[in-house]
């Protein structure tokens, strides 16, 4: 039976620490501020944005929301980003993805000032992560690392497999494990012998976006299994990329869905915003 890593408890600890530091910053006249931009009315995006707003209230940050209609033009969105780049009371800018199809996500991300890019998606921040000299980390991979740390799970010298190669999770996740001296393999839709590769992993991170994709025969006995997925099963019930019922008896540690990696993403966003406020006020 695996030990379940409780993302809600770990995220609460991270947010409590951020709240303490935010209070100390306020005593120095600095109030961290996050601006969240949402375009259109995607229901999942709306849930995320509401959760970010709640987290800001909890840790004592200034929170501004810019809700724009789905018909917003590229020029209008770029103008807002430029305005927020200049706004001294805003330390972090987050443009909720995905954007409506007619908008150029890449151009929007590149328009955000790298020092306010609390999602760590800007090419400048991605490059810093590659060389291991960074201020911000993408929130989900950073959350995974925090979960591993919370259980004192050793990465040094371990065989690590990441399923998924997205810019948001898969690639940065692999780099963070590599920085901790893991031996890392990235698997994706073209990987041959996927089952064999995954079953060698001491630490397996599933970020593929397919419900219950990882079965027991893909998991080594005693492996640490981290499920980044947020899917719906055949009954419309929330589930992850890992078939929890099958895999849990075989793993040593496992994250549940919900209540595993999900809560960590917003906690790490708060941590990044705090860091941005410190950098912009010369307090690092």
The tokens describing 207, both together, are 């970020």
Top-level class of domain 29-113: alpha beta
Give pLDDT, residue 163.
98
Question: Of residues 15, 52, 116, 158, which has the active-site annotation?
Answer: 52
State the SS3 of 230-251.
Answer: CEECCCCCEECCECHHHHCCCC
- pLDDT interval class at 143 (50, 70, 90): very high
Give pLDDT, residue 44.
86
Active-site residue, 119 included: yes
What's the average model confidence in pLDDT over 100-117? 97
Of all residues in the chain, the percent with pLDDT exceeding 70 is 100
Nearest to 22 by CA among 33, 32, 14: 32
Active-site residue, 241 included: no
- pLDDT interval class at 166 (50, 70, 90): very high
Start and end residues for every CATH 3.40.50.10860 domain found in the chain: 29-113
What's the average model confidence in pLDDT over 150-158? 98
pLDDT tens digit sequence for 205-225: 999 999 999 999 999 999 999
* Cβ atoms < 10 Å from Cβ of 26: 12
Question: Of residues 15, 96, 220, 280, which has the active-site annotation?
Answer: 96
| CATH code of the domain occupying 139-262 | 3.40.50.720
Active-site residue, 280 included: no
The C-alpha angle 137, 140, 44, rounded to 5 degrees, equals 130
- pLDDT interval class at 162 (50, 70, 90): very high
CA separation for the pair 22, 51 (Å, rounded): 19
Start and end residues for every CATH 3.40.50.720 domain found in the chain: 139-262
Give pLDDT, residue 284.
81
**DSSP classification of residue 31:** -
pLDDT tens digit sequence for 222-270: 999 999 999 998 888 999 999 999 999 999 999 999 999 999 999 999 9
Q: Where are the alpha helices (DSSP H) in the chain?
A: 7-27, 43-59, 74-86, 105-111, 123-131, 139-150, 170-179, 194-198, 244-247, 261-280
Give pLDDT, residue 52.
94
pLDDT tens digit sequence for 51-76: 999 999 999 999 999 999 999 999 99
Nearest to 205 by CA among 142, 267, 249: 142
The tokens describing 222, both together, are 């005693």
Nearest to 227 by CA among 259, 249, 196, 274: 259
Q: What is the mean pLDDT of the chain?
A: 96
Question: Of residues 119, 227, 241, 243, which has the active-site annotation?
Answer: 119
The tokens describing 115, both together, are 């020092």
Query: Residues 6 or more apart from 6 whose CB is under 8 A from it?
Result: 259, 260
């Amino acid at each position: 039976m695996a030990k379940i890593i409780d993302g809600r408890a770990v995220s609460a600890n991270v947010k409590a620490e951020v709240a303490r530091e935010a209070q100390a910053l306020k005593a120095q006249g600095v109030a961290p501020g996050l601006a969240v931009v949402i375009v259109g009315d995607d229901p999942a995006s709306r849930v995320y944005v509401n959760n970010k707003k709640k987290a800001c209230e909890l840790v004592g940050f200034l929170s501004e929301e810019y809700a724009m209609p789905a018909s917003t033009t590229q020029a209008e969105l770029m103008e807002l980003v430029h305005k927020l780049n200049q706004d001294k009371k805003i330390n972090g800018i987050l443009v909720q993805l995905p954007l409506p199809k007619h908008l150029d996500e890449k151009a929007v991300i590149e328009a955000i000032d790298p020092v306010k890019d609390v999602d760590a998606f800007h090419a400048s921040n991605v490059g810093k992560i590659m060389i291991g000299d960074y201020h911000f980390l993408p929130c989900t991979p950073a959350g995974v690392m925090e979960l591993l740390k919370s259980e004192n799970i050793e990465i040094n010298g371990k065989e690590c497999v990441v399923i998924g190669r997205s810019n948001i999770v898969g690639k940065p996740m692999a780099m963070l494990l590599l920085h901790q001296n893991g031996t890392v393999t990235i698997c994706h839709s073209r990987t041959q012998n996927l089952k064999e590769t995954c079953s060698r992993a001491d630490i397996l991170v599933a970020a593929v976006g397919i419900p219950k994709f990882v079965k027991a025969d893909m998991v080594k006995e005693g492996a640490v299994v981290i499920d980044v997925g947020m899917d719906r099963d055949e009954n419309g019930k929330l589930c992850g990329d890992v078939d929890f019922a099958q895999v849990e008896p075989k793993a040593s540690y496992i994250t549940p869905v919900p209540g595993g990696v999900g809560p960590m993403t917003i906690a790490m966003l708060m941590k990044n915003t705090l860091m941005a406020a410190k950098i912009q006020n010369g307090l690092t």
